[in-house]
Structures are given as C-alpha cells and as structure tokens.
Amino acid sequence: MLKLTQNEWMKLWSRKSSWIMIILLAIILLASAAITKWVDNAMDMNNTESWEQVEASEMAYNLSMLENPNLSDTQREYYEGEVAISEHRLENDLPPYEYDTMQQGVIESHVMMSIVTLFTVIIAGGIVAAEFSQGTIKMLLTRPVKRWKILTSKYIATMLYAILLAIVLFIVTALAGLIFYGIGDGTFLMWNGSEVVEGSFWLEGLKMLALSFASVWIIGTFAFMLGTVFRSSSLAIGLSIFLMFTGIQAVFLLADYEIVKYYLFTHTDLTQYYTGFIPVEDITMTMSVIVLIVYFIIFMAISYLTFSKRDVTA
Amino acid sequence: MSEQALVQIKNLSKTIGNKKIIKNLNLDLYKGQITGFLGPNGAGKTTTIRMMVGLMKPSEGDVLIDGKSVKHSFEESIEKVGVIVENPEMYKYMSGYKNLLHFSRMHKGISKKRIDEVIVQVGMKNRINEKVGSYSLGMRQRLGLAQALLHDPKFLILDEPTNGLDPAGIREFRLYLQKIARENGVAVFVSSHLLSEIELLCDRIAIIQNGELIDIKNVKELQQSRFLFKVEPLAAAEEILAGIGFPVSQFEGGLLVETEAEHIPGAVKILVNANISIFAVQPFKATLEDQFLEMTGGGDIAQAHTK
C-alpha cells in the first residue's frame, strides 16, 4: 500500500496543476492580507470606539440572545460562554487581538478553507477519472494488485494533498499576518464550560482549521466518488463545486423540515459550534460527526463497489 | 502436445445485456509457443483478452494461468502475465523512466537494476528520461513492451501490438517476440487482424468469429505445397495436367497445381512435349488471408478493413 500511495503521490506531483494550486493558494492569501491592509490604511479607520465599548455592546447582544426561550442547548452554551469571556475581559482589562494582527489572522485562518476545498475537489474528482480518460487504467489494473488497494492508494494521496493544502493555508496566513499586520497586543480567552481561561492563538487556529477540514474531507470524498462512478473529472469537479455552493443555501430552505437534520450540508461546517452561527436548532457536535461518518461510509461504499465491479472497456 | 498447458481458457463466456458475445471459449496456450488470435473486428478478441487479464469479469468460465485462477486468485495469477492492451497508454506527463518505476512498484521485488536491464533490452536508453509525451508511437510501443517485461512474465498477452508501427518496427518487434518465446520459454498470445503479420509471427493460430472459436491451426499445416504454372494455352495445359492426375485449378491467369516439389520436373517435361509454352513455374504460397476468408466468409473481414 505504501508503494501504491508513493506512485499516486509521484503522479500527482508530476502534473503542473498540483503545483499551480499550491502556489495560487499562497498568492491568494498574501494578496488578500495585502488588500485588507491597504484598504485599512486608505480609510484610516475613523473608528473611535475603544475595545471596551465594542466588548460591552457584544455582551449586551449576547445577553439579549440568551433571553430567547427557544434556544437549543448548544446555542445557550455558546452565548453563555461568550458573555463570560466579555465579563472577564472587562473586569481584568484584557483586550482581545485586533483583527489586523497576525494572531487574529491565525485564529481565523479557517475562513479561507473553501479555497482548500475547491482545490481538493479538483484533485479528488480527477484522480480516478483521469486514468480512464488517458487510457492508463488498463495498464494500472493489469497488475497483481487488487482493485480496492489501488482505489485506497488514490484516496490516501488525495487526502494527503488536502492536508498539505491546509498546512500551507495555515503557515502562509501566519506569514502574511507577520508581513502585513505585525504582531499585536491582546490575549486569547476561551470558555471551558465552567470558567474563562487564557488560550494559545496557535492552538485555537489549528483547532478551527481541523474542524473546518471536515468539510474538505467530506466534499473531497464526494468528488472522489463522482469521479470514480462517472469516470469524468469535469462532471465530478463541476457537480461537487456546484453542490458546495448551493448545498449550504438549501439548509435554509429545508430549515423547517425534520429532514434538514440528516442533510449533509447542515453538518459540513463543524466550526459552527464555536462561532455561534448554527442555522439548525437541536443539532450537536456528536450528531454532526455521526452524520458525516455515515455519509462518508456511503460515498466510499459506492466508490469501491463501482470501481471493483466495473468492466474496463476504455 | 503432452506438455501441461501454461494457460487454460476454460469455457469462457461473456454476456452483455442479453447478447452472448463470447461463447464457451476453450483454448490452451503452451510455453515457448506464439499463438495468434485472429478474427474480424467485433468477433470478440479484445473482450476475450480483457477477461484473461481481469479487466472484465467473465459471465461464465475461467482462465487459469500456471494453475491459478484469474477469477479467484487474481494477484497470484496476474503476477505471471505481461500485458499490452492495444496502444500502451503511458503517463505522458512523466518520463519513461518514472513510468517504468511506477509499474515496477506494483510488482514484487523488481530492482532498479532490472529496470535498467529492460531499458537496454528494448533500446530506450538514450531517451528514457524524457517525458513520454515527446515520444513517437514507435518509442511508446517499446516502452509498452518494457513495462510488460519488467517482472519477467511467463505469459505475454498482446492485443493488436503492431498498431501504428512502421514496417521496420514490426519486423524488429516480431523478431524480439520470437526470441523471448524461444529462449525464455514465454508463452505469447497475440491478437491481430493483420493476417500477414500473424502468419509471420505465430506458431499456431486460433480463429474466432462471432464470439466462437472456429479453428485452431498450426501455421506449418496451413502452408500446403502448391505451384503456380504460367503457361499458354491455358485450357490445353489444364487438360493435360488434370489428365495425368494433378489437382488443378485456374488462378489469376495461371494454373494452380497441388503437388509436391519432386513431381514438378516430370510435369514440365510433359507440358514441353505437348508444345505448351511455359513462362514460369513458381511455388505458390497461399496467404493466410485467403484461407481466413475461406473460413470466415468474405463479408466479415471486408467489414473489418473499413475500420
């Protein structure tokens, strides 16, 4: 299996597109940091509010949310935590990081994860389909290696590439922050359920990155399945990207129905449990993880079945 | 043929939809022997070969390679097979060497030394580090052969291997296959619709039509001894030759006589005495094509040529 994965990895890096996507990701991150910085300077920030004022108004908003009797447990917990953090900040004079600091950039690096998803989908949708379209599939499958092993090696290579993209995202975000914003003052606080504690912004950034990787993983797996079933990379990539953008909108359309709880895109964004933006009530992290795993198993089962049963006529 | 067959195709059938496109095929292939697989397009050559190498699943029957079933122990059986299915499609964006490295990793125990050995064998040493995309068809064909030989297979399957090769390339390819069959005892199975090519290359020919194996022949058997007489007047000569007991038929403005070489001087003498003008007497080799057409009926092969 190691050798097969090595093969897939070698093929992946022999194509220019894999390099271009990594470079493009870095360029986009650097450019967006530079543009943010430039816009800030141009507007010269006539924002006169002090951080205490901002914090106080946020706290007031969160308190008002808590008065809503229909809050789910997950949401209630979130708002209580936020209020506790705000109180702690104001009492102990601990300002948060301003948004144009390297630290805040690291904490929020996951917001650019959709680019990673996009690039992962391109690789995932093409890695099997390309073998069919190039005709190399018949060279690949007439080896003393069972088909499921070949498919597994391709899946592993795809996910390794996705992880690499996420790491590049994290490192380049930090670098861009360092170059364009610089290190700012502040502390990162978090609510551990019973008290407010100080946390590391690096760890927080990594945690959020790992959580948002769930969507890369599941949408990547979906594209992988489509590429395997339809043997057309353009169809797989196109359909996956289309669903990636429209799938989340459908959550709002379905919000009033029970079915939304089993709908994939309700659960793809695991960071929702930490950012407070939970469009569907009554869902929990555990439930999301279970739903994602069930979808994963279905996608993989379809991929493996079609790939190992298929008569190769290409 | 007392020797145990290396490859046994047993009752192989393939049904697609409700059409049985391969019908209970039985065929044995032996060490050191090159067997041609001949048939018009659409007869089921490629489907049969794809079932032999595991690209397609047989509806019924099985293929045994050195006693191991392709159906039930895929890895153990395919280990011994080298395959070129139609044009060897390689990864164009990688060098020839990386392509070979790629395929070598899919077999057990192929050393870097072995890769270099095969590269020299197929004469690709100078261009092996260039991208396959820059190769000519002939070079790709060589690389295709190299990947099929990497693991020193006991059995080599080639589907239309000379597609796109120039005459010199075909000749080289033929000599090479004959050499490895003879020297390494490799069983070779070659499908083609190029009849003349098969005739030169193979020891034995299996003919398939409409998914059925209609004949298996040794090439030597096919080459009966016949002579073509170019004589004038034709009718008189025919009468004389038939009169003394030769099987005679008219053929392309001459007479075709089925006989052994030792009877020819006698026949010539008789014709000369009868005042027949003799322009030429030559051994006549019926091409396989003629016999093939005889066996399969002309319509199918004509269709095949319009591919």
Pairwise CA distance, residues A136 & B90, whole Å? 6
B121: which residues sit within 8 A by CB, 6+ positions away? Answer: B146, B149
Can you give the pLDDT at residue B287? Answer: 62
Burial code (b: 16+ CB inside 10 Å, e: under 16) for A272-298 equals: bbbeeebebeebeeeebeebbeebbee
- In this complex, do A135 and B89 lie within 8 Å of one another by their Cβ atoms? yes
* Report field, pTM of the whole predicted structure over 0.80: yes
Can you give the pLDDT at residue B300? Answer: 46
For the residues A20-40, what does the mean pLDDT come to? 91
Q: Chain A contacts of B54, Cβ < 8 Å? A: 141-142
Cβ of residue A7 closer than 8 Å to a chain B Cβ:
yes
Mapped onto helix, strand or coil, the DSSP state of residue A280 is: coil
For the residues A106-133, what does the mean pLDDT come to? 92
Cβ burial of B180 (10 Å; 0-12, 13-18, 19+) is buried
Among B56, B86, B107, select the one facing A143 at the smallest CB separation: B107
Of the pLDDT bands very low, low, confident and very high (cuts 50, 70, 90), residue A297 is: very high
Pairwise CA distance, residues B221 & B199, whole Å? 12
A103 vs A167: which has the higher pLDDT: A167
Whether A234 shows a pLDDT value over 80: the answer reads yes
Residue of A nearest to B48 (CA): A313
Can you give the pLDDT at residue B303? Answer: 39
The strand pairing partners of B277, in sequence order, are B232
- In this complex, do B89 and A311 lie within 8 Å of one another by their Cβ atoms? no
DSSP B95: B
Cβ burial of A183 (10 Å; 0-12, 13-18, 19+) is exposed
B219 vs A256: which has the higher pLDDT: A256
Report the candidate in B163, B278, B294 with the shortest Cα–Cα distance to residue B228. B278
Of the pLDDT bands very low, low, confident and very high (cuts 50, 70, 90), residue A165 is: very high
Is residue B189 a contact partner of residue B50, using CB atoms and an 8 Å limit?
A: no
DSSP A232: -
For the residues A84-88, what does the mean pLDDT come to? 86
Residue of B nearest to A1 (CA): B106
One DSSP character per residue, A40-78 reads HHHHT------HHHHHHHHHHHHHHHHT-TT--HHHHHH
Q: What percent of chain A has pLDDT over 70?
A: 98
Can you give the pLDDT at residue B306? Answer: 33
pLDDT averaged over chain A? Answer: 88
| Three-state SS annotation for B106-166 | CCCCCCHHHHHHHHHHCCCCCCCCCEHHHCCHHHHHHHHHHHHHCCCCCEEEEECCCCCCC
pLDDT under 70: residue ranges of chain B: 1-3, 164, 220-224, 285-307
Directed axis angle between helix A73-92 and helix A51-66, to 10°? 150
Pairwise CA distance, residues A272 & A212, whole Å? 9
Cβ of residue B70 closer than 8 Å to a chain A Cβ:
no
Given the DSSP bridges, would you call strands B226-232 and B212-218 parallel, antiparallel or unpaired? unpaired
Can you give the pLDDT at residue B307? Answer: 33
Amino acid symbol at A63: L
User: What tokens were used for A241?
Assistant: 């990207």
* Most confident stretch, A118-127, A279-288, B21-30, B177-186: A118-127
Pairwise CA distance, residues A63 & A57, whole Å? 10
Query: What pLDDT digit, counting tens, does each position of A185-200 carry?
Result: 888 888 877 888 888 8
Can you give the pLDDT at residue B238? Answer: 85
Amino acid symbol at B257: V
Burial code (b: 16+ CB inside 10 Å, e: under 16) for B270-287 equals: ebeeeebeeeebeebeee
C-alpha torsion sign, points B246, B250, B256, B258: negative
User: What tokens were used for B209?
Assistant: 């039509």
The strand pairing partners of B28, in sequence order, are B8
Q: Chain B contacts of A139, Cβ < 8 Å? A: 83, 85, 88-90, 103, 147
Can you give the pLDDT at residue A245? Answer: 86
Report the candidate in A150, A103, A105 with the shortest Cα–Cα distance to residue A127. A150
A58-67, A69-78, A135-144, A157-166: range with lowest mean pLDDT: A69-78
Cβ of residue B93 closer than 8 Å to a chain A Cβ:
yes
Pairwise CA distance, residues A168 & A166, whole Å? 5
Helix extents (H) in A135-278: 137-141, 147-180, 201-230, 233-254, 264-267, 272-275
Is residue B137 a contact partner of residue B89, using CB atoms and an 8 Å limit?
A: no
Pairwise CA distance, residues A232 & A238, whole Å? 10
Nearest CA distance, B1 vs chain A (angstrom): 29
Name the region of A126 (left: φ>0; alpha: ψ -120 to 50; beta: rest): alpha
Cβ of residue A311 closer than 8 Å to a chain B Cβ:
yes
C-alpha dihedral over B175, B179, B180, B185, to 10 degrees?
140
Query: What pLDDT digit, counting tens, does each position of A33-74 carry?
Result: 899 888 877 776 656 677 888 888 888 888 888 888 877 777
Can you give the pLDDT at residue B301? Answer: 42
First to last CA, chain A: 25
